[in-house]
Amino acid sequence: MKKRASIVAASLGIALISSQTTLADTQSKPNGPYVEVEQNLSLSSVMTNEELEKKLQKIEESSQGKMQLDVAGYSNEGTPLYLAKYGENEPEKKRVLIYTQIHGNEVLGTEAAMEMMQKFNSGDKDIDEMLEEVSVWIMPRLNPDGTMTQIEGDWNPVRYNHQTWNPEEYDLPAETEAPWYYTLGYEREQATNERFYYGIPGYDLNRDFSPNYNFDINEVDKEKLAEVLNDESKNNRYNTGYVVSPEAKAITNVVKEFNPDVAIDVHHRGFNYLSEEDNRSVAISVLGMFTTQPYTDPFTGEKYEIEEDVEKLSKQITVAGYQSLQRGFSSFGAIQQYPQVNYPGSGLGAIQLNGTATMLIEVKGQTQTLGQKQNGMLKQTVKTPIYDILSKLADGSIEDVDANLYDEIPPAHGWMGDPSTRY
């Protein structure tokens, strides 16, 4: 296996040239740095699945019993989906679930999560006290198959998992439409909006959730299922996923068991600049709300709605995360809201409709666009808000955070990337 990702050479060249053209069009003084055309993109710091596994086992060993490493399930190609548990599932403790890399090409959250675990192990008194109050369960790299995708002999992580839609597997007529988030192996290039074909079918795992945690595609009424799948007004982004992937199933099982107070999901997106007055490159985008209206499950008729206290805590943690990075006029503080979505079939969408407060962190740049530039700084912009949220949950001061400040986080603006790679 090659560790250096040369990416699909031709499309990379196009992507970078166009992204610079876009920058020139949208702002006079782009404040990168961005990967230059002649620079060699390298994923040499990115862990393979085997390296991730070894590292997790080492962290467990060195944790002196603080962390228990479990396998929550297996990817469609049989790779373990790890669950690192700091603390038991105790009702008297606050419970936080952090998961990363549900999109295989969004690697930085996983790297940040590993560093967080090392910090949890450090013996730092404040951290130890925090962990006495808060149980933190971490699922790093939820899409290991997409992460390790090989294209023409090179390592090229993609968004989707590796899984083929086969309706007959579910006793459905052969011509039944696939879930709308299925691809035959096309991925969009960052910045160019052009698709490249790599030919490995799969699902966007972050659309494969159902607010009905007990939804089982094998148990549901088949006629109804075929009707929903074949109806474009129902089989779309504003409705449920079908939990066809073992990865989405594994996460669902963990949230069912753990019933976290807070869930945080880490992604990458394209590039944005902060505002017309402030052209700092946005380091992270954040979002606390994942649906905008009540949702009725097409199979059970059950209605789901975000509860008031869940909305409040979601906004409080998002505000706390935002504030933790405001350190004067630095690139750390260039944070804005992620565009409002209405996705009951996304991971956080389904989780929030079940009574857990949620926060999305979107780090700038896609792995194949940014390479390793700014990795240290960007990991910090993931870890700092999460530590702050954990410590505020531990000492109860999260209650003092004004949820109304959520609306004052600068709105989504100045997008310079590919919309399909977001969230």
Residue ranges binding Zn ion (CB under 5 A): 103, 106, 267
Render 269-315 in DSSP notation, one character per residue.
E--BB--SS--PBP-EEEE----SS-EE-TTT--EE---HHHHHHHH
Q: What angle do CA 35, 20, 421 make, to 5 degrees?
A: 75
Give the H/E segment covering residue 9. Answer: helix 9-26
Beta partners for residue 97, in sequence order:
137, 263
* Residue number, 69 or 205, with CB nearest to Zn ion: 205
Residue number of the CB closest to Zn ion reads 267
> Which residues are CB-contacts of 400 (< 8 A; sequence separation ≥ 6)?
none
Q: How far is the CB of 364 from Zn ion (least distance, A)?
A: 12
- Give the burial string for 358-367 (b: 16+ CB within 10 Å, else e): bbbbbbbbbb
* Residue number, 298 or 347, with CB nearest to Zn ion: 347
Q: How far is the CB of 222 from Zn ion (least distance, A)?
A: 32
- For helices 308-324 and 375-395, give the axis angle rounded to 10 degrees: 130
| C-beta separation of 107 from 140 below 8 A | no
Q: How far is the CB of 30 from Zn ion (least distance, A)?
A: 23
Give yes or no for a cis peptide into 419 (omega within 30° of 0). Answer: no
* Residue number, 85 or 267, with CB nearest to Zn ion: 267
* Residue number, 95 or 267, with CB nearest to Zn ion: 267
CA neighbor of 7 nearest in space, from 49, 46, 48, 40:
40
Angstrom CA distances, 303 to 8, 96, 212, 252, stand at: 45, 25, 10, 19
Dihedral of CA atoms 387, 390, 393, 397 in degrees, nearest 10, equals -10
Distance CA 97, CA 64 (A): 21
* Residue number, 266 or 401, with CB nearest to Zn ion: 266
Q: How far is the CB of 363 from Zn ion (least distance, A)?
A: 10
Q: How far is the CB of 106 from Zn ion (least distance, A)?
A: 5
CA neighbor of 239 nearest in space, from 271, 279, 212:
212
Q: How far is the CB of 297 from Zn ion (least distance, A)?
A: 25
Q: How far is the CB of 111 from Zn ion (least distance, A)?
A: 15
* Residue number, 267 or 364, with CB nearest to Zn ion: 267
Q: How many CA atoms lie within 13 Å of 325's alpha carbon, on the beta-carbon side?
A: 31
Render 384-398 in DSSP notation, one character per residue.
HHHHHHHHHHHHSGG
Q: How far is the CB of 421 from Zn ion (least distance, A)?
A: 7
* Residue number, 311 or 418, with CB nearest to Zn ion: 418
Q: How far is the CB of 159 from Zn ion (least distance, A)?
A: 7
* Residue number, 130 or 359, with CB nearest to Zn ion: 359
* Residue number, 106 or 388, with CB nearest to Zn ion: 106
Q: How far is the CB of 140 from Zn ion (least distance, A)?
A: 15
Angstrom CA distances, 171 to 166, 167, 240, 245, 277, stand at: 9, 7, 20, 17, 57
* Residue number, 266 or 319, with CB nearest to Zn ion: 266
Number of H helices, E strands in the chain: 11, 16
* Residue number, 160 or 258, with CB nearest to Zn ion: 160
Residue 319 buriedness (CB in 10 A; 0-12 / 13-18 / 19+): buried
Q: How far is the CB of 160 from Zn ion (least distance, A)?
A: 11
